[in-house]
């Protein structure tokens, strides 16, 4: 699309192989999804090497779209900068609608016929996750396929009416087996998590028949959890938040998980304790918290 400023708006896709549309991967859709952009770019680099080495299965196509929203990335905005709309809330799109609806329509037309779809997603709140696969519970989800990634968790989420415009939901409705990968964090690069996610996606592509090189790297026996069962921890007041725990840490009932201090005089406002035994699944990385903001999510034992 032409632009009133800067260069024209383009979306670049990388195609590997040809034939059966097997796996499509979508990277960042929001301007602050730096980790997602980095993972997608590293996947392109790895698949380029593998194609040159003859490691792609014949008659199969893999498509990778590293970024759908380069405009927001360039100006440091999370959503579309002209009207602050979220492309990932516009699917399946409308080719005569608003700008973000047209972008979603063009992307969805290119990827809707792939057998498998992988979105490198981010949470609506800033924070760090245990890397995991997330799926919408639409009736079309396939838990066994999700476990093929070999990540620590497969998280199942029941969609709300608000979720019916997400890429993951619409992929499934159009008969694509869709998975969202949460790669640890959002607005910073984590090399270790990137390596884990790249290996998991290549492992999945191998099982899907798109690659010819068996993956022998270590994998997790994925635990299936339901988002509704996660325990949420929220503060009773506002202040500066300093966590003691990281994703993956084990906690016990009553164990201190962080503190909130007054932003002006520094006195202790609250010590945040774990209400149960379990594994830390999510930690907010926003140092300024308000009353009832999400601080932690725990997968209870």
What digits encode the pLDDT tens for the residues 70-100? 889 888 899 998 899 999 999 999 999 999 9
Residues 101 and 140 in one domain: yes
Mean pLDDT across the stretch 242-270? Answer: 96
Distance CA 88, CA 181 (A): 14
Residues 39 and 188 in one domain: yes
Is 201 inside a domain boundary?
yes
Question: In which band, very low, low, confident or very high, does the pLDDT at 116 lie, cut at 50, 70 and 90?
Answer: very high
Q: CB–CB of 106/86 below 8 Å?
A: no
Q: Average per-residue pLDDT in the chain?
A: 93
Structural domain ending residue among the three candidates 225, 255, 284 = 225
Is 2 inside a domain boundary?
no
- pTM score of the predicted model: 0.93
Is 6 inside a domain boundary?
no
Q: Give the number of other Cβ atoms within 10 Å of residue 141's Cβ.
A: 18
Q: Give the number of other Cβ atoms within 10 Å of residue 276's Cβ.
A: 15
Distance CA 16, CA 55 (A): 11
Residues 213 and 264 in one domain: no
pLDDT at 5 (0 to 100): 65
Residues 22 and 138 in one domain: yes
CATH number at residue 88: 3.40.630.10
- In the predicted structure, residue 21 carries a pLDDT above the cut 70: yes
Structural domain ending residue among the three candidates 170, 203, 225 = 225
- In the predicted structure, residue 145 carries a pLDDT above the cut 90: yes
Residues 184 and 244 in one domain: no
Residues 187 and 57 in one domain: yes
Q: What is the dihedral of CA 62, 14, 127, 160, to 10 degrees?
A: -60
- In the predicted structure, residue 188 carries a pLDDT above the cut 90: no
Distance CA 114, CA 177 (A): 9
Residues 242 and 274 in one domain: yes
Question: In which band, very low, low, confident or very high, does the pLDDT at 214 lie, cut at 50, 70 and 90?
Answer: confident
Domain that holds residue 82: 14-225
Residues 140 and 283 in one domain: no
Is 145 inside a domain boundary?
yes
Question: In which band, very low, low, confident or very high, does the pLDDT at 231 lie, cut at 50, 70 and 90?
Answer: very high
Number of domains in the chain: 2
pLDDT at 226 (0 to 100): 96
Residues 284 and 167 in one domain: no
CATH number at residue 259: 2.40.50.100
pLDDT at 125 (0 to 100): 83
Residues 86 and 221 in one domain: yes
216 versus 301: which is more confidently predicted? 301
**Token pair belonging to 57:** 């299965």
Question: In which band, very low, low, confident or very high, does the pLDDT at 279 lie, cut at 50, 70 and 90?
Answer: very high
Residues 206 and 253 in one domain: no
């Amino acid at each position: 699309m032409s632009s009133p400023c800067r260069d024209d708006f383009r979306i670049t896709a990388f195609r590997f192989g040809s034939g059966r549309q097997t796996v499509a991967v979508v990277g960042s859709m929001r301007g602050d999804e730096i980790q997602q952009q980095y993972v997608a770019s590293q996947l392109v680099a790895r698949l380029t090497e593998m194609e040159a080495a003859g490691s792609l299965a014949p008659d199969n196509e893999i498509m990778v779209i590293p970024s759908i929203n380069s405009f927001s990335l360039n100006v440091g905005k999370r959503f579309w900068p002209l009207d602050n709309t979220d492309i990932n809330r516009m699917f399946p799109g409308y080719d005569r609608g608003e700008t973000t609806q047209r972008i979603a329509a063009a992307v969805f037309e290119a990827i809707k016929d792939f057998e498998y779809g992988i979105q490198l997603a981010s949470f609506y709140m800033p924070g760090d996750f245990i890397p995991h696969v997330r799926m919408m519970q639409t009736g079309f989800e396939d838990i066994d396929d999700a476990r093929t990634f070999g990540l620590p968790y497969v998280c199942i989420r029941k969609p709300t009416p608000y979720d019916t415009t997400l890429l993951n939901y619409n992929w499934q409705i159009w008969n694509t087996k869709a998975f969202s990968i949460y790669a640890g964090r959002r607005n910073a690069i984590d090399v270790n998590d990137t390596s884990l996610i790249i290996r998991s996606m290549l492992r999945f592509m191998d099982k899907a028949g798109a690659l010819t090189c068996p993956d022998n790297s270590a994998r997790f026996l994925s635990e299936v959890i339901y988002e509704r069962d996660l325990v949420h921890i929220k503060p009773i007041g506002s202040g500066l938040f300093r966590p003691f725990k990281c994703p993956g840490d084990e906690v016990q009932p009553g164990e201190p998980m962080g503190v909130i201090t007054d932003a002006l005089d520094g006195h202790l406002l609250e010590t945040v304790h774990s209400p149960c035994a379990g594994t830390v699944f999510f930690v907010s990385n926003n140092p300024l918290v308000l009353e009832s903001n999400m601080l932690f999510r725990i997968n209870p034992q």
